[in-house]
A and B are shown apart, each in its own frame.
Chain A
């Protein structure tokens, strides 16, 4: 569980929290630079790099052509050579083009060189469905959790976005930083102090006693909505914002499940070999069998048709139904 020190807060947009973290780290460390499409004068696809080109110039804020493999490859190479690049990949779907340099080279560099070299590169990317169809909607962070040497984090709030970006830019191995299209309109309180959020620290964002819901990124908001629906029926759900997928803060999750006795995992990516599958397994390794259910999208591509998109994605009502079933199953078993 997190225990960030109390600090004065300021409300800001999600994108402003990212920009602030990157700006501070660029000021502190001249090795930090940005590579990506539209990151320069345009300020980033979501304006999350606003003002950085003006402050740091074209040498450290570099616009790139539409060539994800080259961008990530250059990022990994520059990191191996001593820089700390942040590579911005606008749609997570297109990270696939850069898996070879990221996974075969970046994630393995420290191992291959016996610790003599590291690749401190951050690949920042935006996942999630928002009306853009099959190849611009995917959440494939679970694919990356299994790569030794790779760290994967996913902020759900502006405060997470700020604190996780600080840690990412100071980290010595490749980091994949996954945000979400639907988080950019969100505003939230961010500490004024420069407080980094360590990787591997989940946050209980709503305490509860009857079941534990884990989620990351935009789905934390859906989990909180579902918890409110369940509360109207007298059911108390604890919601855990994972924040970091690799490493995973299994202690916070397991100690919650130990108290509540039930675990519901929620994710926007596919549940087959998904984040939830890993969370459930790791919890059971610690606690033995627990009642669980996992909630995710339909096993289908995400359409750009808004009706089909909504049909595919988990929403608060669907999560609440799964939570109710999980609780009733327990009651039925208990009554026999």
Chain B
């Protein structure tokens, strides 16, 4: 099964800047692991995995911008599942996010 992680809905925000990836392509994430930190105009958004998966493709590197609801990364249950052309069509991996 393939998933995407998208920019979460944050009040007032249209787009965010990717601050730092805490997992790289090929690495597994466990539930609760910090995957990526995002930066809004006034806060940092920590995005944590809601289930186990492998990070397969990063779509927006640190320093780049992405709009709310748009995909940041592709993940999969298995280590070697073949990747789709269009990440937007994938279902969202459950995530917890915290705004600090």
Q: Is the CB of A11 within 8 A of B65?
A: yes
Give Cα A14–Cα B42 distance, bound, in whole angstroms: 11
Chain B residues with CB below 8 A from A182, complex form: 12
Contact of A47 among B12, B14, B42, B65 (CB under 8 A): B42
Residue of A nearest to B43 (CB): A47
Give Cα A13–Cα B15 distance, bound, in whole angstroms: 10
Please encode chain A, from 176 to 219, with 1 for each CB lying within 8 Å of some chain B CB and 0 for all others: 00000010111100000000000000000000000000000000
Contact of A187 among B12, B42, B65 (CB under 8 A): B65
Give Cα A110–Cα B74 distance, bound, in whole angstroms: 63
Interface of B is mostly: loop
Q: Is the CB of A185 within 8 A of B41?
A: yes
Q: Is the CB of B65 within 8 A of A46?
A: no
A262 at the interface (CB under 8 A from B): no
Q: Is the CB of B65 within 8 A of A185?
A: no
Chain A residues with CB below 8 A from B65, complex form: 11, 187
Between A13, A46, A184, A186, the greatest number of chain B beta carbons within 10 A of the residue's beta carbon is seen for: A13
Chain A residues with CB below 8 A from B14, complex form: 185-187
Interface residues of B in 45-78 (CB under 8 A from A): 65
Interface residues of B in 13-29 (CB under 8 A from A): 13-15, 17
B88 at the interface (CB under 8 A from A): no
Between B15, B17, B42, B65, the greatest number of chain A beta carbons within 10 A of the residue's beta carbon is seen for: B42
Chain B residues with CB below 8 A from A47, complex form: 41-42
- Tell whether A185 pairs with B12 under 8 Å between CB atoms, given A11-B65, A15-B41, A47-B42: yes
Residue of B nearest to A43 (CB): B42
Give Cα A187–Cα B66 distance, bound, in whole angstroms: 11
The smallest C-beta distance from A222 to any residue of chain B, in angstroms, reads 15
Residue of A nearest to B12 (CB): A185
Residue of B nearest to A47 (CB): B42
Give Cα A46–Cα B42 distance, bound, in whole angstroms: 7
Give Cα A118–Cα B11 distance, bound, in whole angstroms: 44
Known: A47-B42, A184-B42. 20 other contacts (CB 8 A): A11-B17, A11-B65, A13-B17, A13-B41, A14-B41, A15-B41, A15-B42, A46-B41, A182-B12, A184-B41, A185-B12, A185-B13, A185-B40, A185-B41, A186-B14, A186-B41, A187-B14, A187-B15, A187-B41, A187-B65
Q: What are 12 A-B pairs with beta-carbon distances under 8 A? A: A11-B17, A11-B65, A13-B41, A14-B41, A15-B41, A15-B42, A46-B42, A47-B41, A184-B42, A185-B12, A186-B14, A187-B17
